[in-house]
């Protein structure tokens, strides 16, 4: 399964996928890694010998033109799937439609609970005893796509936002690799027919 990975930050999810590919734990080819800004995630990809690209919103006159430029950059690599691995931009409906049913994202909660940018803080504020991580397909509405996999993470009595988020990220990396592996196996079975 050929993927393009989109990042915005440190690239720890990307690194988990790079490691899984290098160790032959998943049958995935990372065609390219793209970003919306210079970041450590791009550096991780370059260090692994993976092609990178950068599509900055500020280099385009408006959001729509940025989305089309990003779409073209991703399409240039002909991915079977697009992985948003800590990609902190909301893409428009046109981008989603171009890759309909093929964009995978992670989210630090058990969706549909706590969608949006502050999921960990929101979970703590609501006093939940269990939260977690979701791997889901991206649709035009934020954090509303079909759920592919979830993993629970207990909320401990002494948790603050940072401690809880670090435990969620550890679960996220493992769940993401497992989910990509399952998608790759399903894709291979489909191709065999």
The residues carrying an active-site annotation are: 107
Other CB atoms within 10 Å distance of the CB of residue 181? 17
Helices (H), 114-160: 119-126
Residues 6+ apart with CB under 8 A from 14: 5, 7, 33, 41, 44, 45, 85, 86
| 135 closest CA partner among 13, 46, 35, 50 | 13
Distance CA 44, CA 83 (A): 16
| Phi/psi-derived region of residue 173, left when phi > 0, alpha when psi is between -120 and 50, beta in every other case | alpha
> Cα separation of 37 and 32, whole Å?
15
For residue 136, list its beta bridge partners.
Answer: 105, 147
Beta strands in the chain, from DSSP E residues, in sequence order: 2-7, 29-35, 52-54, 81-84, 103-107, 130-137, 147-154
Q: How far apart are CA 107 and CA 64, in angstroms?
A: 24
């Amino acid at each position: 399964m050929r993927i393009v990975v989109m990042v915005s930050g440190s690239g720890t999810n990307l690194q988990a996928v790079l490691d899984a590919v290098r160790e032959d734990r998943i049958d995935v080819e990372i065609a390219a890694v793209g970003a919306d800004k210079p970041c450590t995630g791009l550096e991780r990809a370059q260090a692994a010998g993976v092609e990178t690209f950068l599509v900055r919103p500020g280099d385009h006159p408006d959001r729509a033109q940025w989305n089309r430029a990003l779409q073209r950059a991703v399409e240039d690599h002909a991915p079977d799937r697009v992985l948003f691995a800590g990609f902190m931009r909301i893409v428009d409906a046109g981008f989603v439609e171009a890759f309909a049913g093929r964009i995978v994202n992670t989210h630090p909660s058990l969706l549909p609970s706590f969608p949006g940018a502050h999921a960990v803080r929101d979970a703590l504020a609501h006093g939940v005893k269990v939260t977690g991580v979701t791997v889901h397909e991206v649709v035009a509405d934020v954090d509303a796509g079909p759920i592919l996999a979830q993993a629970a993470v207990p909320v401990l009595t002494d948790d603050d936002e940072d401690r809880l988020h670090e435990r969620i990220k550890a679960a996220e990396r493992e769940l993401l690799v497992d989910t990509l592996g399952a998608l790759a196996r399903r894709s291979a079975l489909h191709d065999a027919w």
